[in-house]
Structure 1
Amino acid sequence: MINRSTTEKVKERADIEDVVNDYVPLKKKGQNLWACCPFHNESTPSFSVSPAKQIYKCFGCGKAGDPIQFVMDIEGIGFNEAIRHLAQKYGIEIEEEKQESPEAIQAYNERESLYIILNFAKDFFRNNLTTEEGRAIGLSYFKERGFNQSIIDKFDLGYALDGWDNLLKAGKQAGHSEELLLKAGLILQKEGDEKRLYDRFRGRVTFTIHNLGGKPIGFGARILTQDKKQPKYINSPETEVYHKGDTLYGIFQAKKSIREKDNCYLVEGYTDVISMHLAGIENVVASSGTSLTENQIKLIKRFTDNVTVLFDGDAAGIKASLRGIDMILEGGLNVKAVVFPQGEDPDSYSRKVGSKEFSDYLIEKAQDFIAFKIGLYADEAGKDPIKQADLIKQIVSSLSKIPDPIIRTVYVRQSASLLDIDEDIILTELNKIFIKGEKDKFFKDQRENSVETKIEDILPTKETALPDSSLIYIQEREMMRLLVTYGFEMVSEKTSACEYMLQETAELSFETPVFKKILQLYQTALSGGFMPQPDFFMSTEDQEVKKEIISMITRKYELSTLWESRHQIFTYHEADDLAKTIYDSVLHLKKRVIKKLLQEAKYKIKEAEDQKLGIESVSERLKIYMELKKFQVEIDKQLGIVVSY
């Protein structure tokens, strides 16, 4: 395990804005920074980052935490790996202690070993370019493509020697085991032969695939001969560190530019990405020959909401790729398309016309997806009514994927104009799709949740007679929020807010487990002579407590300071009369608790009557009910509530 000293150094150095900005473009609004959440699809930013408090909070999906938790959430890794990630980012030396779990040691070591072996393979392939074979074949191919040494270094391009086991031998000589070389996907084992191992990549130029942090996780390799028995490209298999559907080629080199340009060019192959970098366009990634996936779209959305898809000048290929555009739309991104002249692709066209003309072409020829799709099918449809109807259906299908109703409405109007049809026709077809979707979802839920209904399931029970427990949860949470936020403030000359709240709620038992834990931590700190504030709870390793505290102290909306400074419009703040705020909160909590007790007492009276327990038992329970009723009336009076009971 990483020792506490290293963890504390990381906590001190890691800046939430800096860390989040590596993954999500943040925009300032008020005192905080905002972005569309990287953890769920949304069109309106609800992901808030507070530089002052060093926390993040999504008001959509509820994700929250500090810089370390963010790295854990975004990378899908554990605490120790997140500390290592941030330590590397900030140049902090890692000091380790003995781990308690052998399984944790093994899992971490294996993952790190894969990274080490893949990095070794990357260096091996790169160094092969300096060999006689590598210069003659691999380097000459790159030079023919116009790739200079700078771009070769930037993308870790290399060459796999034309032999059965060059990498295998070099790896074993460097101390890497055959088992891990197999797990990394670098070597293969011949079927039916336990001993025959050989290199996966042989006689090919190699393209290193990096993860978001820049570590090599896999390779693509292109054959340079005309051997029709061999595929043109082969790629690393799925491994512990490489998942094709979660990866985009060039994302490490492109993420900064994508954020700055607020746009991502999406191409098909490795050489397309590299050629565009040579042309000075760095905000580009490739799906590397695989069909676009939902996770790849989410990866792009971390950095921008705008995607421009670049298509080769081949109508059949373009139509086959349109499903990808619909998926991008469904992911909440804005889509444009650029089509190159017949027979050209980003790689060939950039080399043919040069950087300046290529960049101008991308800007001039970019079309929004509606105009692009209509133009693609318009000539084919001609005046054939059947084909025209099919075109309309295809456009409506794409429109139905857009989650934002405002953007969808704008595109409906544009489509109606370009197709020269009534807007209501498109809206009618859209409604059919939405209604069908809702019906399908309803029947699917019915099938999944179908259970045999029993009579006792619908009879009144103690549980169904009780009030919604969420009401008590809300008041318990408000009490905890006030305690954590204002506990150190004085509500009178001699009494602090925490003393008053703890005294008034001493006889109450909090129902919500996380609030019980927060209260226990608070009381423990007080007993040690320390008055805890919000940052005290951020140091705990209890992620549930940290998340709840962040949620308590983070607000989705902020009132502009201009209201008071410029317009002289003054508003009430809860801290303006803290004594009243806390007093009312205590009363509201007691009111909710008493209401629940009243419901329980009422149930017990009915239970005594139904079971014929006798007049004395009923009278005793009725007496308890009336006492509780008196408390309820008194609390309502203090709250200024007039109720006729």
Structure 2
Amino acid sequence: MRINPETVERIKQTADIVEVVGDFVSLKKKGANYSACCPFHNEKTPSFNVNPVRQIYKCFGCGAAGDSIKFVMDIDGVGYGEALRYLADKYNIEIEQEEVTDEEALRQNERESLYIILNFAKNFYVQQLHESDEGQAVGLSYFKERGFTGEIRKKFELGYSLDTWDAFSKVALAKGYSTQLLEKAGLLIHKEGSQTAGYDRFRGRVIFPIHNVAGKVIAFGARILKSDKSKAANQPKYLNSPETEVYHKSDVLYGIFQAKNAIRQLDHCYLVEGYTDVISLNQGGIENVVASSGTSLTVEQIRLIGRFTPNVTILYDGDIAGIKAALRGLDLVLEEGLNVSIVLFPDGDDPDSYVRKVGAEAFKAYLKNNAKDFITFKTEMLLQDAGNDPFRLAAVIGEVVNSIVKIPDAIKRQVFFHRTSEMMKVDEQMLITEGNKILRKLHTQKPQERAPRPGYQAPESPADLDALFSGDSQTGQNEPPSDFFAPQTSQTEAPQRSKLYYQEEAFIRLLVVYGARELEPSITVCQYVLSEIEGIDFKDTVFHHLLVLFRENFNRNHVLPTDYFLNHHEPEIRNLTIDWLANKYELSELWSEKYEIFVPFETDVLDKTAFINILRLKKAFIEEKMKVCLQQAVHAKTEEEQTAVMSEFMYYKGISMAAAKELGSVIG
């Protein structure tokens, strides 16, 4: 089914760009707009801008731009229809649908089909936990034994899979889901050469659904509960979904959907290892916690945390060998600019067992009193191992310095050099010198620009744009929308533009952004500037097209508003409009409040701006004609022809000099 246009328009009008983006990224107020580090490429300095007035976003680093719907499409890797459904669900908008043709139904997107079947599986497992005799006796008893309340079970959508070969797949196939889709979702295992439909991957286990940042189920973790040790011996304690089109283990943190708001509000994230650690801490009132699900921490997971806070505390159990192995990978966290602390629990305890042993309040106090920054923690641990052995001590110095130089902030590096010198009783300048050697070496090897995040790729052609439309999440899809914002393609070199091109752009920008504004009563910017350039046409095809649009509409006594271009059916025009509306910098209020220096905004001097734009455009237009005259003079066959051409050239030059004088330009 296709979402009807009225519902689409209602979703667009209701969705607030600040709220939508804020669900995925921590935004900070910056003047009239909001800013953040871009979620679409790796950066340390925020260049991602959200404009609440225009309801658009723009990254000045990678060029990503669009509205609320486009943001959801890009951040979650879904199609237009699924993005609409996400926003409709967020704002409690009832979706009205239309029938689609059989051909449109066949174009259903595989990714969205996976989301649908995974959500169906989650609901099935939840139902089995609460409604089946086996689920209540085995799964529910286990969760209650762990102290998980009904509210917590609902929050994390915990479930149970029956201990039979095909309990789930039988129901799913009966509902019309295909065997191929079940296999692609990692829910069904089908042996090659077998004539049977296959068997369920998860059997006789409690189920932990894994959600992405948007709250969609993308995979499952499952824990075996068999009491018969002989049967359980050949099976892993935990079983996870395989990698699929929508699930990449290295990109995901368990509990991020449930934790993101708390992480943002508290400006802090706790990182644990397992599913039950996350749930137990939530049970104790600590909601800003996520898990790496037993995998080594990856750059993608670190950046996911970094979207919401730069402050992360990693909670380790008492396994010293495991901690030492994990420390080797934590330099990645420092390199991404996060502030890392470590908490170590007593031997035999992990976050889950310790919070159940001492209670929530004592647990929070323990975290507060035992957290150590990563550099201090690493230094103390390595020094303890090294003892008085001078060779091992030298190696410790090298390891710690190597970690310190991973910190991007120079001031933080200086602080840690000073602290480390005191702990190791070595000269601080020696540590800095060693650090500088490493930095110089890294500078010659390390690329200056990081690649965009995995999964984000700008389309290179109209065909690629069409391929991004993955359809609705039911049995058909919406048509490619008129409000789709195509990401800008990356370019290795900026295209060579003539002076005339930039003057045409400045002129069209003035029309698009301020065309409907009045310079004087009953005289709009559009009326004034169009009347001053009669007889001039633009060379650039896009700018020429826009100029014709303004002229045709003005002749019908209608001035096109800015929103018309923000929602234009041509992606290039939409992207240009966003570029013209987005302000990379905000003027500090201190200029007027503290220093009493009043800087006029563009809207305050529109009359002067319009006049100067017209003069510059005419000057550039005339100079192009002068170039043509010079070329004609070179190729003139007779003296009379050459004289006529030069006479025309001098006429144009006179106009150009008059315009330059008016503009205050210096003529060589």
Please say if residues 30 and 586 of structure 2, whose CA atoms lie closer than 8 Å, have aligned partners that are also in contact. Answer: no
Counterpart residue number, 1:120: 120
Summarize the Cα distance change of 1:48–1:444 in structure 2 as closer, same or farther, 3 Å threshold: closer
Counterpart residue number, 2:459: none
Larger mean CA deviation between 145-154 and 503-512 belongs to 503-512
Counterpart residue number, 1:553: 581
C-alpha distance after superposition, 1:157-189 (max 9, x if no partner) = 222222222222232334433222222211101
Larger mean CA deviation between 597-606 and 213-222 belongs to 597-606
**C-alpha separation between the residues in 2 aligned to 1:72 and 1:443?**
29
Structure 2 unaligned residues grouped into runs of 5+: 451-494
Aligned residue identity for 2:49: S
C-alpha distance after superposition, 1:270-314 (max 9, x if no partner) = 111111111111111112122323332232222222211112222
**C-alpha separation between the residues in 1 aligned to 2:19 and 2:222?**
35
Aligned residue identity for 1:286: A
Counterpart residue number, 2:311: 306
Matched, 1:184 2:185: yes
**C-alpha separation between the residues in 1 aligned to 2:309 and 2:390?**
39
Please say if residues 82 and 112 of structure 2, whose CA atoms lie closer than 8 Å, have aligned partners that are also in contact. Answer: no
* Structure 2 counterpart SS, 1:321: helix
Please say if residues 517 and 545 of structure 1, whose CA atoms lie closer than 8 Å, have aligned partners that are also in contact. Answer: no
Aligned residue identity for 2:62: C
C-alpha distance after superposition, 1:60-99 (max 9, x if no partner) = 3333322222222322333333222212222223233466
Larger mean CA deviation between 562-571 and 548-557 belongs to 562-571
Summarize the Cα distance change of 1:585–1:357 in structure 2 as closer, same or farther, 3 Å threshold: same
**C-alpha separation between the residues in 2 aligned to 1:326 and 1:353?**
32
Task: Report the alpha carbon displacement of residue 318 of structure 1 after superposing the two structures with TM.
Answer: 1.3
Please say if residues 164 and 202 of structure 1, whose CA atoms lie closer than 8 Å, have aligned partners that are also in contact. Answer: yes
**C-alpha separation between the residues in 1 aligned to 2:501 and 2:434?**
44
Summarize the Cα distance change of 1:582–1:168 in structure 2 as closer, same or farther, 3 Å threshold: same
**C-alpha separation between the residues in 2 aligned to 1:469 and 1:247?**
43
Q: TM-score of the superposition, structure 2-length normalised? A: 0.83
Q: CA RMSD in A?
A: 3.3
**C-alpha separation between the residues in 2 aligned to 1:179 and 1:514?**
46
Counterpart residue number, 1:634: 658
**C-alpha separation between the residues in 1 aligned to 2:214 and 2:449?**
40
Aligned residue identity for 1:49: V
**Matches for 1:81-96 after TM superposition, within 5 Å:** 81-96=82-97
Counterpart residue number, 1:23: 24
Counterpart residue number, 2:321: 316
Aligned residue identity for 1:402: I
Task: Report the alpha carbon displacement of residue 472 of structure 1 after superposing the two structures with TM.
Answer: 4.7
Counterpart residue number, 2:220: 219
C-alpha distance after superposition, 1:608-627 (max 9, x if no partner) = 59xxx887887777666555
Task: Report the alpha carbon displacement of residue 521 of structure 1 after superposing the two structures with TM.
Answer: 4.2
* Structure 1 counterpart SS, 2:317: strand
Counterpart residue number, 2:489: none
Larger mean CA deviation between 105-114 and 87-96 belongs to 105-114
**Matches for 1:112-511 after TM superposition, within 5 Å:** 112-130=112-130, 131-195=132-196, 197-225=198-226, 226=229, 227-440=232-445, 469=497, 471-491=499-519, 495-510=523-538
Please say if residues 160 and 203 of structure 1, whose CA atoms lie closer than 8 Å, have aligned partners that are also in contact. Answer: yes
* Structure 2 counterpart SS, 1:185: coil
Please say if residues 538 and 546 of structure 1, whose CA atoms lie closer than 8 Å, have aligned partners that are also in contact. Answer: yes
Aligned residue identity for 1:116: I
Please say if residues 334 and 407 of structure 2, whose CA atoms lie closer than 8 Å, have aligned partners that are also in contact. Answer: yes
Aligned residue identity for 1:60: G
Please say if residues 43 and 404 of structure 1, whose CA atoms lie closer than 8 Å, have aligned partners that are also in contact. Answer: no
**C-alpha separation between the residues in 1 aligned to 2:92 and 2:549?**
34
Please say if residues 76 and 214 of structure 2, whose CA atoms lie closer than 8 Å, have aligned partners that are also in contact. Answer: no
Q: TM-score of the superposition, structure 1-length normalised? A: 0.86
* Structure 2 counterpart SS, 1:584: helix
Aligned residue identity for 1:632: S
Task: Report the alpha carbon displacement of residue 230 of structure 1 after superposing the two structures with TM.
Answer: 1.7
Please say if residues 336 and 367 of structure 1, whose CA atoms lie closer than 8 Å, have aligned partners that are also in contact. Answer: yes
* Structure 2 counterpart SS, 1:552: helix
**C-alpha separation between the residues in 2 aligned to 1:550 and 1:159?**
48
C-alpha distance after superposition, 1:192-222 (max 9, x if no partner) = 3242511111122211112223232211111
Structure 1 unaligned residues grouped into runs of 5+: 446-466
* Structure 2 counterpart SS, 1:337: strand
**C-alpha separation between the residues in 2 aligned to 1:514 and 1:415?**
59
Task: Report the alpha carbon displacement of residue 8 of structure 1 after superposing the two structures with TM.
Answer: 1.0
Task: Report the alpha carbon displacement of residue 346 of structure 1 after superposing the two structures with TM.
Answer: 0.9
Aligned residue identity for 2:561: Q
Summarize the Cα distance change of 1:196–1:566 in structure 2 as closer, same or farther, 3 Å threshold: closer
Aligned residue identity for 2:168: L
Q: Percent identity?
A: 51
Task: Report the alpha carbon displacement of residue 253 of structure 1 after superposing the two structures with TM.
Answer: 1.2
**C-alpha separation between the residues in 1 aligned to 2:594 and 2:442?**
50
C-alpha distance after superposition, 1:544-600 (max 9, x if no partner) = 323322232232333355755786543333344432221212223344455566667
Task: Report the alpha carbon displacement of residue 629 of structure 1 after superposing the two structures with TM.
Answer: 3.9
Summarize the Cα distance change of 1:620–1:271 in structure 2 as closer, same or farther, 3 Å threshold: farther
**C-alpha separation between the residues in 2 aligned to 1:399 and 1:582?**
53
**C-alpha separation between the residues in 2 aligned to 1:442 and 1:10?**
42
Larger mean CA deviation between 232-241 and 479-488 belongs to 479-488
Please say if residues 15 and 67 of structure 1, whose CA atoms lie closer than 8 Å, have aligned partners that are also in contact. Answer: yes
* Structure 1 counterpart SS, 2:222: strand
Task: Report the alpha carbon displacement of residue 23 of structure 1 after superposing the two structures with TM.
Answer: 1.4
Summarize the Cα distance change of 1:332–1:566 in structure 2 as closer, same or farther, 3 Å threshold: closer
Task: Report the alpha carbon displacement of residue 320 of structure 1 after superposing the two structures with TM.
Answer: 1.7
Task: Report the alpha carbon displacement of residue 37 of structure 1 after superposing the two structures with TM.
Answer: 2.5
**C-alpha separation between the residues in 1 aligned to 2:78 and 2:549?**
27
Task: Report the alpha carbon displacement of residue 136 of structure 1 after superposing the two structures with TM.
Answer: 3.3
Aligned residue identity for 1:67: S
Please say if residues 190 and 196 of structure 1, whose CA atoms lie closer than 8 Å, have aligned partners that are also in contact. Answer: no
Q: How many residues align?
A: 618
* Structure 1 counterpart SS, 2:49: strand
**C-alpha separation between the residues in 2 aligned to 1:316 and 1:522?**
71
Aligned residue identity for 1:247: V
Greater fraction of residues in helix: 1
Aligned residue identity for 1:640: G
C-alpha distance after superposition, 1:368-387 (max 9, x if no partner) = 22112212211122333332
C-alpha distance after superposition, 1:101-120 (max 9, x if no partner) = 94x64453544443332223
**C-alpha separation between the residues in 2 aligned to 1:344 and 1:596?**
78
Larger mean CA deviation between 569-578 and 196-205 belongs to 569-578
Aligned residue identity for 2:529: M
Please say if residues 326 and 398 of structure 1, whose CA atoms lie closer than 8 Å, have aligned partners that are also in contact. Answer: yes
Task: Report the alpha carbon displacement of residue 507 of structure 1 after superposing the two structures with TM.
Answer: 4.9
* Structure 1 counterpart SS, 2:97: coil
Counterpart residue number, 2:568: 540
**C-alpha separation between the residues in 1 aligned to 2:647 and 2:298?**
65
**C-alpha separation between the residues in 2 aligned to 1:523 and 1:407?**
58
Counterpart residue number, 1:462: none
Counterpart residue number, 2:466: none
Summarize the Cα distance change of 1:97–1:573 in structure 2 as closer, same or farther, 3 Å threshold: same
**C-alpha separation between the residues in 1 aligned to 2:554 and 2:274?**
61
**C-alpha separation between the residues in 2 aligned to 1:268 and 1:614?**
87
Summarize the Cα distance change of 1:495–1:208 in structure 2 as closer, same or farther, 3 Å threshold: closer
* Structure 1 counterpart SS, 2:657: helix
